[in-house]
Amino acid sequence: MIRVLIADDEDMIRSALASLLRLEDDLDVISECRDGAEAVAEALRLRPDVCLLDLEMPGLDGVEAAARIRQQIPARCVVVTRHARPGVLRRALSAGVDGFLPKSRRADDVAAVIREVAAGRRYVDPEIAADALSDERSPLTERELDVLRTGEQGATIAQIAASLHLSPGTVRNHVSSVLGKLGVQTRQQATIMARERGWI
């Protein structure tokens, strides 16, 4: 029996998927979690075989939750997402995620992927994998990416400067360069774009 933990902040999707997976003879859904932090805590408590994690959750997203789970227990992790961007796939794979698929897949497909990763194999949706191979690389410098990473949780220019040991003026110059390269108006928009594309 494969013991499965499910985490999704959308109650209807989470409960529907859990109900469908419970119809499978070899799957046992042992926990349903509303966010990434709860998923990590429950995974450490229950030690499931496979964690099925939604990418877009408040607080810890699915990739971050998977990385924390994998650091502490040998559970396999599958990330599902409504927006299967290639950059996110790269971020997921670097975090040690074992499976990656879009939410548009049917429940029996999800069950098959759970079985694959439980058996020690990896699964990546073929279309996402093909897109990832042709996806553009980041036009930003490492220092510009550092500025976005450091300011991701809403840090001010002064806080970013202090953290990176730069002057506020230098940080402003980096932010201005980032906005110009990405064609966006705000640092928040730049951070969202960089995260979606797997640059940070």
Provide the terminal-to-terminal Cα distance of the chain, rounded to the nearest Å.
37
Rounded CA separation 66/122 (Å): 14
Rounded CA separation 161/5 (Å): 40
Rounded CA separation 200/193 (Å): 9
How many alpha carbons lie under 13 Å from residue 81 in its C-beta half-sphere? 21
Domains and CATH numbers, the chain: 2-134 (3.40.50.2300), 142-196 (1.10.10.10)
Distances (CA, A) of 88 to 21, 61, 67, 80, 150: 25, 11, 14, 11, 19
Q: Give the predicted TM-score (pTM) of the model.
A: 0.71
pLDDT, one tens digit for every residue, the chain (200 residues): 999 999 999 999 999 999 999 999 999 999 999 999 999 999 999 999 999 999 999 889 999 999 999 999 999 999 998 876 767 887 888 889 999 998 889 999 999 999 999 999 999 988 778 776 666 678 899 899 999 999 988 899 999 999 999 999 999 999 999 999 999 999 999 998 888 777 88
